[in-house]
Structure 1
Amino acid sequence: MADTPFDASLIQEPLVFIDLETTGANFAVDRIIEIGLVEVDQNGVREWSSLVDPQQPISGFITGLTGIDTAMTATAPRFAELAPALLERLQGRLLVAHNARFDYGFLKREFARLGIAFRSRSLCTVKLSRRLFPQHHRHSLAVLIERHGIHVDARHRALADARVLWDVWQCWSASLSPDAVWAAVPDIVGHVELPPHLDPALADDLPESAGAFAFYDGDGKLLHSARSANVRRQVLGLLAPARWESTLVRATRRIEWRECAGEFGARLNDIAFSRAQRPLPAELYTWRLHERALGDFRPELVAAAPENFVIDQDDYGLYTSRREALLALRKLAEANHLCFSLLGLGDAAEGKPCVAFRQRACRGACVGKESPALHGARLQAALARIRLQHWPHAGIVRYIERDEFGLREDHHLFDHWRWLGSVANAADIPAHLTAAIADAPAAFDPEIYRVLNRFMQSGKIRAVALDSLADTPALSD
C-alpha cells in the first residue's frame, strides 16, 4: 500500500502495529496463519499482510473465528519464505500489539525455528490502555473498538486488527495528546540497564512467564537458583543497578532459565538446577514397619541408592542419612511417650526399663506395663503423619499443567515418583521417553517426591495415563 499522509506529531519513533492469527494459543505446537502490519514513521503509513502456510491443519474453531481454513493457507508462503522481508519490516521499530506477549512470543518461536534470534522492543496496548485510562476496568480490543467508535472491516483478521491498533493510538492521541500517550510508553516498554559484564541481549531474551533460573560464575559454579511466576521481572530485579556491587551480581557471568507453564514446572526445574551441583546422597533412608507378633509393630531402618529406592506400603519418613532418620524417630518417640527399647533406640536389656521409662517418658512397654499391641497402635498413629505415599498409578503418567493464558501446556512425565522430564508438545512424549529409558535410570529425589505429592493433593495438576505407551518398560523395574 502506498504511503498514507498523517500527522507526524503522533509518533516519536518508528512503530509497527502488528497482529497475528494462529492455529491456536499454545506456543509449542501452534503456528502462525496470517500476519498483518501497519508501519508508521516519518515517511507515512504503510500496510502489509500475508497468509502463512502453518504446515498443519486448521481447526474448525479457528476457521469459525477467523474465516481462514486449511485450503486458503495451502498455497500461501511458509514462514521461512516470509522471514527475510518480515524481519526487515520489523527491525528498528517499536513493535505494538494487543497482548504483546502473544504476538511477540509467536514471532520469536517462528524465527527461532529458522535459527534466528529475533529481538524487539515491544509495547502492549492492553497495558498502555490500563495506564492511560485507569478508570476503565476492561481493555479488550472489542471493548476499545466500541469505546472509541472505531470502524472495523473484519475482526480476527490480522491486517484489520492491526489497523484497529493504529486507529486506537490516534484516538488516544486526540483525546489526551500525543505527549501524554508517549509519556506512558517508557514505563511499559522499560529501559533495562544490565551490569556491563553481562550480555545486553539478556534483557530481551528473558521470558515474562513462570519458570526457574540459575546464576553461574565464570567457572560454571552455581551461585543462585530460584523459581518465579515471572522470570524476567525477578532476574532483572536481582540485576538492578542498585545491586551491581552485591557479591552475587559481581560474580555472575552466565544466567540460564527454563520457561514453564506454571508453578509446578518451575519448582521441578529449580530442583534440577540445584541438583546439577548438589547431587543426591549415596543412600536414602526410611522407616518400614514390621509386625513381629499380632499388633506388635517394630520399625526397621531400610536404605537404598536413589536409583533403586522404591516406596513400600508401610514406609514412614524420608531421610538423607542414618543419623537424620534416628534423630527423627527419637523425637517422635519423645513426643508420643513411646518405648525406646521397642523402637530399637536404646541398649537396655530385654525386660529392663528403657532410658525413656526412667525419665518417665515411656508408658512401660519395655517392662510389661503396656501391651505390645497397644504400643504398636500408638506407634502407627504417631507415624501416620509421615507415612510415604505409595505410587498410585500402574506405571508412567504425564501430569498436565497449563498457564493462565492458555499459551503453554507442559506435560510432566513421572514413573514411581521419578521425574523423567517435561515436554511442551504431547507429540514429543514417545521420543522423550525413549531417550530417557536409554539413559541411566532416573533417581528417586526426595524434593521432587514432596513437590509432586503436594501438587497431587492440591488438585492443580491432572494425571493422564500413557495408554499408547503401555508396552514401555517402567524405569523403576
Structure 2
Amino acid sequence: MNSDAQSLTSRMLLEAFNHKPVAFVDIETTGVSPLNNRMIEIGIIRINPDASVKSFTTLVNPDQPLSYFIKNMTGIEQSEVDEAPRFEEVSSEIKSMLEDAVFIAHNARFDYSFIQSEFGRFGHLFSAKTLCTVQLSRKLYPAMKRHSLAHIIETFQIPVLRRHRALDDAKVMHEWLRISGETLGMQTVQDAILLLMKERVKKTAVPEEQLSSVPAVCGTYIFRDTENRAVYVGRGLNLKQRVWSHLHNSSLRPKEKKIAELSAEVEYFRTPGELSAFIKAEGLIRTEDPILNKKILRYQKSVACTEYTTSKGYKSVRIKPMLKTDPLKETVVGTFKSKKHAVRALNSLSREYCLCGKWSGTGTDGQCSGPHTEFCKGACRNEENPESYNSRFDKAFKNIRFQEWTFRKPVLITEQGNSDSVGTAFLIDQWRIQAVIHFEEECQNVSIQDEGFSWDAYLIIRKYLNGRKKNLTIRQLTEDQVRRLLTS
C-alpha cells in the first residue's frame, strides 16, 4: 500500500472515531475457549491520531501443547512457542499498542475475549470499544453470501504472505478497508461504522463507582434490576474483567445487551477458587431464578437413557427426559442433548457392539428388521444367551454411562485461596452437596443445604474430581465426623 492510500485509510478511520487511535488486531490460539485455551501469537497495526502507523507482532508461550490442527493451520511449531515470551512478559508492549484505541478485528468478540482473559490471568483489566469487520462487511456488502476472512481475501484479491499468521491477517483487514473506502466511498464506510457502533453501545444504570469497586479476584456475581430481581448470575477467575465485559464491550451479543439494559446494580461474592465459584453460581441460579440464565431451558430437550432388564433377562434402554430422571434411583447409561442425538448414538453403538434394535432403545418393535438384521444376533427372537448379550451391552455403554460415586463414605472437598486460613469446604455424598462450610482464621460458618440431586452440581463436581485438583483437598469422613461437622 502506498503512503497516500495508507494516509487516506487512516484519515477515514480517524474521522469515524473522532480522531481516537485505532488498532487492527489478530491473534492465533491453541483453541476456541478463552477460559481453557491460550494465545500463541498476536499481531497489531495501530493508527495514531496523527495518522502515523505502528506495527507489532510476537509469538506467545501458551504453556500448552499445540494440536496437530493448529500447527498445520498456522505453520507455528511447538518449539517456537516454547521459546517465546509468556503473555505477562510482553503485556506492557501489547497494552501500549492497544491503549485508548478502538479494537478492530475480524470476529472481534473472539480476539477481544482472549485478550481480556490473558490480561485477567494476572489481575489486569482490559476494556475497549470494538469494531467487528465481519459485521462491517455485512453492512457494506449485504449481497455477499459469506464474510469470512478467506472469502474477503478471495473476493477482493488481497495478497497475503502467510495466512493464519497474526500480523498478516491484521494487514488483510487494513487493506480491505482501504479497498472499501476507494470503491464505495469514504463517507459510506464511515456511515456504516458509525451505525454499527451506535447499534451496539448500550447504556447501563449500574453506577460506575459500583463497577469500579468490583475486585479482580475469583468469585461469583449477580446483576439485579431496579426492583431487586435477579437479571443474570455469572462467575469468573477475575470478577472485574467478567463484570465489565458484560457492559463495556461495543460488540455485545444479544444477551449482553439485555444485561446492560435491565441491570441497575451488581453484587459480588469472593470465592477461594473456581470450584467454589461454580457451585455458588449454580446455587444462586437455582434460588434466584435469574431472568437471563436459561437454567430450565438448558435441559428442556435433554434426555437420559436408563437401563432396565426385560422379563427374558436382556438389558435394555429407555429414553426419557433428563429432568425427570434421578440417577441415584435409576441406572443411567448415557445423557444426550436431545432424543435425536440419543437415537443417533444408540444406533451407532448397536452397530459397533451388535446390539438388538428392539432392546437397544432405537425404537424397533418386535423382531429386528431392515438394517438391524445386519448386526442383531437374535436377542429379539430369544436366540442369544442373555449373558453374552448383556456383556456386549455393558461394554457399549462403558464410556458414556453416569459416573457412579466411587467413595465409600461422604467426602469433604476443601478449596483454599491464597491463604491457608481462608477457604470453602463442601460436604458431598452421592454427588449431593449436603453442606457448605466457609472458614476464615478461627471462624467457620456451616450452611446445610441438601436439596437432593442436581445435574448441574453433578457435572461440576465430576469435572473437578476427574480433572486437576489444584488448591483442592479431598477427605473421606466417618458418620461421627459428619455429625460433629454439622453440629459445630
TM-score when scaled to structure 2? Answer: 0.52
Q: Give, in angstroms, the shift of residue 138 of structure 1.
A: 0.6
Q: Give, in angstroms, the shift of residue 43 of structure 1.
A: 3.0
Whether the aligned pair in 2 keeps the contact of 1:194 and 1:200 (CA below 8 Å) is no
Distance 1:126 1:416, change over 3 A: same
**Aligned AA (1:30):** N
Equivalent of 1:10 in 2, 9, 12: 12
How far does the alpha carbon of each residue in 1:69-107 deviate from its partner, in whole angstroms, 9 at most, with x for none? Answer: 111122222111110111011011111001111110110
How far does the alpha carbon of each residue in 1:320-352 deviate from its partner, in whole angstroms, 9 at most, with x for none? Answer: xxxxxxxxxxxxxxxxxxxxxxxxxxxxxxxxx
Equivalent of 2:258 in 213, 234, 250: 234
Q: Give, in angstroms, the shift of residue 476 of structure 1.
A: 13
Are positions 1:51 and 2:75 aligned together? Answer: no
Q: Give, in angstroms, the shift of residue 193 of structure 1.
A: 2.4
Q: How does 1:361-380 map to 2 (within 5 A)?
A: none
Q: Give, in angstroms, the shift of residue 386 of structure 1.
A: 7.6
Whether the aligned pair in 1 keeps the contact of 2:104 and 2:131 (CA below 8 Å) is yes
Distance 1:476 1:122, change over 3 A: farther
Distance 1:223 1:73, change over 3 A: same
Distance 1:87 1:227, change over 3 A: closer
Aligned to 1:58, what secondary structure does the other structure show? coil
What is the CA–CA distance in structure 2 between the aligned matches of 1:139 and 1:130, rounded to whole Å?
7
Whether the aligned pair in 2 keeps the contact of 1:271 and 1:447 (CA below 8 Å) is no
Whether the aligned pair in 2 keeps the contact of 1:49 and 1:159 (CA below 8 Å) is yes
Whether the aligned pair in 1 keeps the contact of 2:43 and 2:56 (CA below 8 Å) is yes
Whether the aligned pair in 2 keeps the contact of 1:16 and 1:96 (CA below 8 Å) is yes
**Aligned AA (1:392):** T
Identity, in percent, stands at 28
Are positions 1:24 and 2:31 aligned together? Answer: yes
The corresponding residue for 1:193 is 203
The corresponding residue for 1:343 is none
What is the CA–CA distance in structure 2 between the aligned matches of 1:464 and 1:226, rounded to whole Å?
23
Aligned to 2:27, what secondary structure does the other structure show? strand
Distance 1:25 1:125, change over 3 A: same
How far does the alpha carbon of each residue in 1:213-272 deviate from its partner, in whole angstroms, 9 at most, with x for none? Answer: 733599xx9632457985412212315xxxxxxxxx4xx3547899xxxxxxxx998762
Are positions 1:168 and 2:155 aligned together? Answer: no
What is the CA–CA distance in structure 1 between the aligned matches of 2:260 and 2:33, rounded to whole Å?
26
The corresponding residue for 1:109 is 117
Equivalent of 2:135 in 105, 109, 127: 127
The corresponding residue for 1:223 is 229
Aligned to 2:7, what secondary structure does the other structure show? coil
Q: Give, in angstroms, the shift of residue 40 of structure 1.
A: 1.7
What is the CA–CA distance in structure 1 between the aligned matches of 2:211 and 2:151, rounded to whole Å?
35
The corresponding residue for 2:361 is none
Distance 1:217 1:131, change over 3 A: closer
Q: Give, in angstroms, the shift of residue 22 of structure 1.
A: 1.1
What is the CA–CA distance in structure 1 between the aligned matches of 2:158 and 2:101, rounded to whole Å?
25
**Aligned AA (2:283):** A
The corresponding residue for 1:36 is 43
Q: Give, in angstroms, the shift of residue 416 of structure 1.
A: 8.1
Aligned to 2:229, what secondary structure does the other structure show? strand
Q: Give, in angstroms, the shift of residue 452 of structure 1.
A: 9.3
Are positions 1:156 and 2:168 aligned together? Answer: no
What is the CA–CA distance in structure 1 between the aligned matches of 2:77 and 2:206, rounded to whole Å?
49
**Aligned AA (1:272):** G
What is the CA–CA distance in structure 2 between the aligned matches of 1:255 and 1:447, rounded to whole Å?
26
**Aligned AA (1:48):** F
Distance 1:399 1:50, change over 3 A: farther
**Aligned AA (1:237):** E
The corresponding residue for 2:99 is 91
Whether the aligned pair in 2 keeps the contact of 1:65 and 1:156 (CA below 8 Å) is yes
Q: Which has the larger radius of gyration?
A: 1
How far does the alpha carbon of each residue in 1:385-427 deviate from its partner, in whole angstroms, 9 at most, with x for none? Answer: 9886635359xx99999xxxxxxxxxxxx9889xxxxxxxxxx
Distance 1:185 1:464, change over 3 A: same
Aligned residues: 305
Aligned to 2:54, what secondary structure does the other structure show? strand
The corresponding residue for 1:392 is 331
What is the CA–CA distance in structure 2 between the aligned matches of 1:415 and 1:475, rounded to whole Å?
21
**Aligned AA (1:29):** N
Whether the aligned pair in 2 keeps the contact of 1:17 and 1:37 (CA below 8 Å) is yes
Distance 1:23 1:277, change over 3 A: closer
Q: Give, in angstroms, the shift of residue 51 of structure 1.
A: 1.2
Structure 2 gaps of 5+ residues are: 235-252, 272-277, 290-306, 308-322, 339-401, 406-411, 417-423, 435-449, 469-473, 480-488
The corresponding residue for 1:440 is 427
Equivalent of 1:139 in 138, 147, 160: 147
Aligned to 1:24, what secondary structure does the other structure show? coil
Whether the aligned pair in 2 keeps the contact of 1:214 and 1:224 (CA below 8 Å) is yes
The corresponding residue for 2:283 is 272
What is the CA–CA distance in structure 1 between the aligned matches of 2:336 and 2:453, rounded to whole Å?
17
CA RMSD across the alignment: 4.8
What is the CA–CA distance in structure 2 between the aligned matches of 1:141 and 1:133, rounded to whole Å?
14
Higher relative contact order (CA 8 A, sep 6+): 1
What is the CA–CA distance in structure 2 between the aligned matches of 1:60 and 1:386, rounded to whole Å?
41
Distance 1:398 1:23, change over 3 A: farther
Distance 1:126 1:445, change over 3 A: farther
